[in-house]
A and B are shown apart, each in its own frame.
Chain A
Amino acid sequence: MKFFRTLRRSIRDAFKSVFRNFSLSLASISCITITLIIVAISILITFNVQNFTREMEKDLTIVVFLDTDATEEDSKIVMEKLENMSNVESLTYQSKTAIKEEMRKENEVFNEVMSTWSEEDNPLKDTFQVKVKAVEKIADTAKRIEKLDKVSTVRYGEGMVDNLIVAFEAAQKVSYGMVIALILVTVFLIINTIKLTIFSRKREISIMRLVGASNFTIKTPFIIEGMVLGIFGSIIPILTVCFGYVALYNHFDGYLYSRMITLIEPEPFIYMVSGIVLVIGIIVGMIGSASAVRKYLKI
Chain B
Amino acid sequence: MDLIRVKNVNKQYKNGVTAIYDLNLSIKKGSFVFVIGGSGSGKSTFIKMLYREEKPSSGEIFVGGINVAKLRNSKVYKLRRKLGIVFQDYRLLPKLTVYENVAFTMESIGATKAETRRKVLKALELVGLKAKIHNYPDQLSGGEQQRVAIARAIVNEPRILLCDEPTGNLDPDRSMEIVKVLEEINKTCGTTIIMATHDKEIVNKMQKEVVLLKDGRLIKHLEKGGYEE
Binding site for B on A (CB under 8 A): 2-3, 5-6, 9, 203-204, 206-215, 217, 299
* Cβ contacts under 8 Å, B1 to chain A: none
Known contacts A207-B91, A210-B85, A211-B105: A5-B112 contact under CB 8 Å: yes
Query: Which listed residue, B80, B107, B112, touches A210 by the CB 8 Å rule?
Result: B80
Contact residues on B (Cβ < 8 Å of other chain), bracket = 20 to 34
Known contacts A5-B110, A5-B112, A207-B104: A213-B93 contact under CB 8 Å: no
Known contacts A211-B80, A212-B80: A2-B110 contact under CB 8 Å: yes
Instruction: Verify if B108 is at the interface (C-beta below 8 Å from A).
Output: yes
Instruction: Verify if B156 is at the interface (C-beta below 8 Å from A).
Output: yes
> CB-nearest residue of chain A relative to B80?
A212
0/1 interface trace, chain B 56-91, chain A, CB 8 Å (1 if under): 000000000000000001101110110101000001
* Cβ contacts under 8 Å, B76 to chain A: 209
Interface residues of B in 157-201 (CB under 8 A from A): none
CB distance from B214 to the nearest CB of A (A): 28
* Cβ contacts under 8 Å, B131 to chain A: none
Contact check, B77 vs A212: say whether CB atoms are below 8 A apart: yes
* Cβ contacts under 8 Å, A214 to chain B: 77, 109
Give Cα distance in the complex from A203 to B96, angstroms. Answer: 13
CB distance from B76 to the nearest CB of A (A): 8
Known contacts A9-B107, A207-B91, A210-B80: A215-B112 contact under CB 8 Å: no
Instruction: Verify if B43 is at the interface (C-beta below 8 Å from A).
Output: no
* Cβ contacts under 8 Å, A217 to chain B: 108-110
Contact check, B77 vs A213: say whether CB atoms are below 8 A apart: yes
Give Cα distance in the complex from A213 to B156, angstroms. Answer: 12
Contact check, B110 vs A207: say whether CB atoms are below 8 A apart: no
Known contacts A211-B108, A212-B80, A213-B109: A203-B73 contact under CB 8 Å: no
Contact check, B93 vs A207: say whether CB atoms are below 8 A apart: yes
Q: From DSSP, what is the main secondary structure of chain A's interface residues?
A: helix
Give Cα distance in the complex from A206 to B156, angstroms. Answer: 18
Interface residues of B in 112-152 (CB under 8 A from A): 112, 152
Known contacts A212-B156, A215-B77; 5 further A-B pairs (Cβ under 8 A): A212-B77, A212-B81, A212-B109, A214-B109, A217-B110
Q: From DSSP, what is the main secondary structure of chain B's interface residues?
A: helix
Contact check, B73 vs A299: say whether CB atoms are below 8 A apart: yes
Give Cα distance in the complex from A260 to B109, angstroms. Answer: 64
Give Cα distance in the complex from A206 to B56, angstroms. Answer: 21
* Cβ contacts under 8 Å, B109 to chain A: 211-214, 217
Q: What are the nearest 6 A-B pairs in CB distance?
A: A213-B108, A212-B80, A212-B81, A211-B105, A2-B110, A214-B77
Contact check, A212 vs B73: say whether CB atoms are below 8 A apart: no
Contact check, B105 vs A212: say whether CB atoms are below 8 A apart: yes
Give Cα distance in the complex from A51 to B145, angstroms. Answer: 68
Give Cα distance in the complex from A5 to B110, angstroms. Answer: 6
Contact check, B80 vs A209: say whether CB atoms are below 8 A apart: yes
* Cβ contacts under 8 Å, B80 to chain A: 209-212
CB distance from A193 to the nearest CB of B (A): 20
- B74, B110, B112, B153 — which one has the most chain A CB atoms within 10 A of its CB? B110
> CB-nearest residue of chain A relative to B76?
A209
CB distance from B9 to the nearest CB of A (A): 22
Contact check, A211 vs B110: say whether CB atoms are below 8 A apart: no
Give Cα distance in the complex from A210 to B158, angstroms. Answer: 13
> CB-nearest residue of chain A relative to B153?
A211
> CB-nearest residue of chain B relative to A13?
B107
Give Cα distance in the complex from A5 to B108, angstroms. Answer: 10
Contact check, B156 vs A211: say whether CB atoms are below 8 A apart: yes
Give Cα distance in the complex from A121 to B202, angstroms. Answer: 128
Contact check, A208 vs B108: say whether CB atoms are below 8 A apart: yes
- B51, B77, B104, B109 — which one has the most chain A CB atoms within 10 A of its CB? B77
Give Cα distance in the complex from A189 to B153, angstroms. Answer: 38
CB distance from B95 to the nearest CB of A (A): 9
Contact check, B110 vs A212: say whether CB atoms are below 8 A apart: no
Q: Can you list 12 A-B contacts with CB-CB less than 8 angstroms, sorted by A residue number?
A: A3-B110, A9-B107, A203-B93, A204-B93, A207-B91, A209-B76, A211-B156, A212-B77, A212-B108, A212-B109, A213-B108, A299-B73
CB distance from A231 to the nearest CB of B (A): 24
Query: Which listed residue, A6, A211, A299, touches B104 by the CB 8 Å rule?
Result: A211
CB distance from B71 to the nearest CB of A (A): 13
CB distance from B156 to the nearest CB of A (A): 7
* Cβ contacts under 8 Å, A206 to chain B: 91
Give Cα distance in the complex from A102 to B74, angstroms. Answer: 81
Give Cα distance in the complex from A213 to B153, angstroms. Answer: 13
* Cβ contacts under 8 Å, B78 to chain A: 212
* Cβ contacts under 8 Å, A213 to chain B: 77, 108-109
Give Cα distance in the complex from A206 to B153, angstroms. Answer: 14
* Cβ contacts under 8 Å, A6 to chain B: 110
